[in-house]
């Protein structure tokens, strides 16, 4: 096919409307715009937090003031004016909710529209949901059933009051506020997020899921998620997210910390569909997130699966610190960029314990004029005898104006390590599309089919209920990108 | 069923087809032979709707429809099937999933509901048996790591599944050893019936020993310059194409 035809095709497939771009009209209780010690105190007071929490926030804030925004990333970022962001916005009327009946019907409707029913009988069986709207958690479903098994699943603001000892012990233990610019900012101003604790020997009886929705204008979302899996426990957790279409960029700077004790396993999946901006690159979410898990105990396992289709910029490296002997870290990623989107994502696998194993499978798909970067670090410490890593890093280009980049870093300090890296770059061929066309499959379906085939290894890692969603999402985000 | 009149087509300004005429009736098998560069593969590409070929003149009527007006996928849904000379690999997409998508897209076009999973699997089994397709090939990624013979057999299997009105075989014999050639041909023969027509494009006569055509046409410089029955293929095998070329030059 000639170049001009190819370009037409790409333009068509890349210009699909964002389906979740609506806004909810609801009265909000917001902090004044801008960031200061006052704001940090304001947020802490809103949450009625214990003194130690406020102190921690203030330390983080003061530390943040000494930092400069990082600039090593492989994308262009216009300076962010941190004084033009609203750091706290919550729907009014939320006093203390005892049951779902008290949730504002407007909010319930919003989540229904997003396909997230908070009414338990309508929920997918086997999935408990925590719904976060702007700065607060609205509702958590199936709490009672989970409590029977001793599983704690609630908003982190609630955990601060109900289980302060757990929060105090683990918050910042995996991602300290000193870790990086955005983790410091998050520690200062985080407003809500999910908290999970799985007691010893318990296999969490259902999938846990948090759904994040940014609604209010000019606000940033700074949630914090903390998941602790005690000895011999198992949990599978999934997060999803959407935001309205707005012309300005909105910042989402979350922190996720996972702690897996001896023989515990945490499976963390993300289907990220923040508003990506329009096709000229106006608006969209800046998704700058710090996610890290610590395999504290021997034989523990942490597995990250991410399907990243949204956001104007995605900048994150869900990582595993493999402290326990025989611990195991996995990272499965699909990152799709289209139009003017940019992504710089990957993982860090830090091998500390003996006989630790890690596996990285990254699939990057770039269409339109977008750029997609894989950046990954595999580090094997001196004492990490017999560490093993396998990295597979595949890029797919759609059209001729997109870019794929790969930056694999290796730091190996122990010569018993086995580290393998495979990489490939391919282009969706016009031949492949024509072949599908000739069998009666239209171009958009063909791209969906080819892309899903390319990502199969990663999609197979998602919980069943979400794998189908993710497949559709991939097809939709590339709609209009080839023809 | 298929009526091609005065078809002219070019690629990147280079004229390939120069007024081609061909009538194919339901149930007939037409072989198109010719020397390299005569336009054989261009004919199949134009009929299937490859976008890099530009049709400058002529008409193609397919069952009362203007074929040239239809998109490639609609041509397929109307019943045109092209068995590719070089079948394409699609990693990660199973044959089964690919065919299910293709069949359901066609059904949607016809206003039908998607096929029930059990009916689909039953059909798969039947057609696999019919064309002696190895079961393991259907669960593997489409054509990925298939041998040349397996790829061609898979084309015939897909044809069996999609049940087209017109099957175009584009140099299906190329790169096949004699056993694979026999298997592929047997598959095609089983799909022959009163309704279904075939255009068999080949450089060599040997394929036509297995798939015996009703008509043989010689394509040269973008036109059909000689037509006959199956015996014409034998004559070409013995004498080559030079005598045809000379005949054409003498007449022009």
Contacts of B71 in chain A (CB under 8 A): 437, 442
Rounded average pLDDT over B52-59? 94
Measured distance CA(A130)–CA(A144) in Å, rounded: 13
Residue A272 token pair: 């990220």
Q: What is the nearest CA distance from A395 to chain B, expressed in angstroms?
A: 13
Burial class of residue A411 in the structure, from the number of CB atoms within 10 Å of its CB (0-12 exposed, 13-18 middle, 19+ buried): exposed
pLDDT tens-place string over residues B179-197: 889 989 999 999 999 999 9
Dihedral pair phi/psi, residue A198, rounded to 5°: -110, 120
CA distances A57 to A33, A41, A173, B218, Å, are: 18, 8, 14, 84
Strands (E), A41-157: 89-91, 127-133, 136-140, 152-155
Q: Which residue of A has its CA nearest to B46?
A: A438
Q: Which residue of B has its CA nearest to A454?
A: B92
Q: Considering CB atoms only, which of A1, A435, A441 is closest to B88?
A: A435
Burial class of residue A342 in the structure, from the number of CB atoms within 10 Å of its CB (0-12 exposed, 13-18 middle, 19+ buried): buried
Pairs of residues, one from chain A and one from chain B, whose beta carbons lie less than 8 Å apart: 82
Q: Do A437 and B73 touch (CB under 8 A)?
A: yes
Q: Do A435 and B141 touch (CB under 8 A)?
A: no
Residue B148 token pair: 């040349």
Contacts of B93 in chain A (CB under 8 A): 449-450, 452-453
Contacts of A455 in chain B (CB under 8 A): 92
Residue B88 token pair: 């394409």
Cα A149–chain centre separation:
27
Rounded average pLDDT over A219-232? 91
Measured distance CA(A34)–CA(A58) in Å, rounded: 16
Torsion sign across C-alpha atoms A158, A159, A161, A167: negative
- pLDDT higher than threshold 80 for residue A22: no
CATH code of the domain in which B52 resides: 3.40.50.300
DSSP codes of every residue in A415-459: TT-EEEEEEEEEE--HHHHHHHHHTT--HHHHHHHHHHHHHHHHH
Pairing, β A371-380 against β A403-412? parallel
Pairing, β A152-155 against β A194-198? antiparallel
What rounded mean pLDDT belongs to chain A?
84
Measured distance CA(A104)–CA(A417) in Å, rounded: 55
Percent share of chain A, pLDDT over 90: 42
Contacts of B112 (CB under 8 A, 6+ apart): none
- pLDDT higher than threshold 50 for residue A6: no
- pLDDT higher than threshold 80 for residue A97: no
Rounded average pLDDT over A294-298? 97
Dihedral pair phi/psi, residue B170, rounded to 5°: -95, 100
Side-chain half-sphere exposure of A155, counting CA atoms within 13 A: 21
Measured distance CA(B136)–CA(B178) in Å, rounded: 22
- pLDDT higher than threshold 60 for residue A7: no
pLDDT tens-place string over residues A436-478: 999 999 988 898 889 888 888 888 887 776 777 777 777 777 7
Q: What is the ipTM of this complex?
A: 0.96
Q: Which residue of B has its CA nearest to A458?
A: B92
pTM (2 d.p.) = 0.81
Rounded average pLDDT over B18-38? 94
Q: Do B98 and A439 touch (CB under 8 A)?
A: yes
Measured distance CA(B218)–CA(B224) in Å, rounded: 6
Residue A207 token pair: 């999938």
- The pLDDT confidence band at residue A120, using thresholds 50, 70 and 90, is low
Q: Do B92 and A453 touch (CB under 8 A)?
A: yes
Nearest CA-CA partner of A261 in A287, A219, A230: A230
Dihedral pair phi/psi, residue A67, rounded to 5°: -95, 160
Domain that holds residue B103: 2-251
Measured distance CA(A474)–CA(A480) in Å, rounded: 12
Measured distance CA(A142)–CA(A147) in Å, rounded: 9
Measured distance CA(A336)–CA(A460) in Å, rounded: 17
3-state secondary structure of B148: helix
| Total domains in the fold of chain B | 1
pLDDT at A71: 87
């Amino acid at each position: 096919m000639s170049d001009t035809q190819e370009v037409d095709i790409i333009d068509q497939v890349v210009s699909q409307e964002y389906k979740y771009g609506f806004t909810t009209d609801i009265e909000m209780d917001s902090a004044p715009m801008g960031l200061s010690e006052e704001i940090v105190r304001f947020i802490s007071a809103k949450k009625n937090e214990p003194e130690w929490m406020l102190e921690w926030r203030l330390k983080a804030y003061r530390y943040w003031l000494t930092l400069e925004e990082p600039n090593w990333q492989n994308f262009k970022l216009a300076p962010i004016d941190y004084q033009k962001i609203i750091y706290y916005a919550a729907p009014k009327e939320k006093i203390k909710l005892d049951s779902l009946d008290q949730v504002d019907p407007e909010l319930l409707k919003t989540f229904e529209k997003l396909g997230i029913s908070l009414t338990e009988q309508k929920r997918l069986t086997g999935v408990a949901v925590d719904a976060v709207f702007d700065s607060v958690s609205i509702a958590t479903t199936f709490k009672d059933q989970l409590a029977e098994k001793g599983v704690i699943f609630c908003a982190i603001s609630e955990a601060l009051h109900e289980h302060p000892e757990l929060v105090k012990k683990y918050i910042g233990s995996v991602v300290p506020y000193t870790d990086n610019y955005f983790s410091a900012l998050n520690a200062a101003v985080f407003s809500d997020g999910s908290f999970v604790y799985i007691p010893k020997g318990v296999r969490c009886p259902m999938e846990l899921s948090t759904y994040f929705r940014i609604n209010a204008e000019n606000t940033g979302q700074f949630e914090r998620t903390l998941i602790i899996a005690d000895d011999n426990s198992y949990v599978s957790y999934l997060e999803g997210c959407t935001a309205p279409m707005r012309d300005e960029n909105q910042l989402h700077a979350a922190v996720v910390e996972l702690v897996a004790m001896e023989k515990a396993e945490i499976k963390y999946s993300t289907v990220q569909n923040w508003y990506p901006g329009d096709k000229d690159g106006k608006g969209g979410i800046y998704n700058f997130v710090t996610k890290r898990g610590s395999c504290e105990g021997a034989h523990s396992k942490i597995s990250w699966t991410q399907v990243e289709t949204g956001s104007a910029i995605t900048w994150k490296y869900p990582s595993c610190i493999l402290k326990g002997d025989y611990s195991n870290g996995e990272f499965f990623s699909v990152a799709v960029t289209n139009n003017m989107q940019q992504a710089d994502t990957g993982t860090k696998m830090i091998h500390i314990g003996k006989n630790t194993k890690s596996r990285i499978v990254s699939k990057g798909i770039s269409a339109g004029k977008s750029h997609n970067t894989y950046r990954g670090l595999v580090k094997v410490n001196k004492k990490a005898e017999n560490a093993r890593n396998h990295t597979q890093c595949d890029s797919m280009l759609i059209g001729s104006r997109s870019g794929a980049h790969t930056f694999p870093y290796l730091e190996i300090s122990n010569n018993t390590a086995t580290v393998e890296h495979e990489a490939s770059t391919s282009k969706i061929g016009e031949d492949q599309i024509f072949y599908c066309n000739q069998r009666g499959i239209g171009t958009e379906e063909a791209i969906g089919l080819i892309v899903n085939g390319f990502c199969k290894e990663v999609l197979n890692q998602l919980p069943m209920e979400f794998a189908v969603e993710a497949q559709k999402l991939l097809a939709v985000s590339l709609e209009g990108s080839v023809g | 069923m298929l009526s091609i009149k005065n078809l002219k087509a070019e690629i990147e300004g280079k004229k390939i087809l120069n007024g081609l005429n061909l009538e194919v009736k339901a149930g007939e098998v037409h072989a198109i032979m010719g020397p390299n560069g005569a336009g054989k593969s261009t004919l199949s590409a134009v009929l299937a709707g490859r976008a890099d070929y530009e049709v400058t003149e002529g008409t193609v009527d397919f069952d009362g429809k203007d074929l040239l007006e239809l998109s490639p996928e609609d041509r397929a849904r109307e019943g045109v099937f092209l068995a590719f000379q070089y079948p394409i690999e699609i990693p990660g997409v199973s044959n089964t999933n690919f065919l299910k998508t293709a069949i359901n897209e066609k059904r949607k076009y016809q206003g039908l509901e998607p096929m029930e999973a059990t009916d689909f699997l039953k059909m798969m089994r039947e057609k696999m048996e019919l064309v002696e397709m190895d079961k393991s090939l259907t669960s593997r990624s489409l054509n990925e790591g298939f041998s040349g013979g397996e790829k061609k057999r898979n084309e015939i299997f897909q044809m069996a599944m999609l049940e087209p009105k017109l099957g175009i075989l584009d140099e299906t014999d190329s790169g096949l050893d004699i056993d694979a050639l026999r298997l592929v041909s047997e598959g095609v023969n089983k799909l022959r019936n009163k309704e279904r027509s075939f255009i068999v494009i080949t450089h060599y006569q040997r394929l036509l020993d297995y798939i015996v055509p009703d008509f043989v046409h010689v394509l040269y410089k973008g036109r059909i310059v000689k037509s006959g029955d199956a015996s014409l293929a034998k004559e070409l095998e013995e004498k080559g194409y030079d005598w045809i070329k000379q005949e054409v030059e003498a007449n022009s």
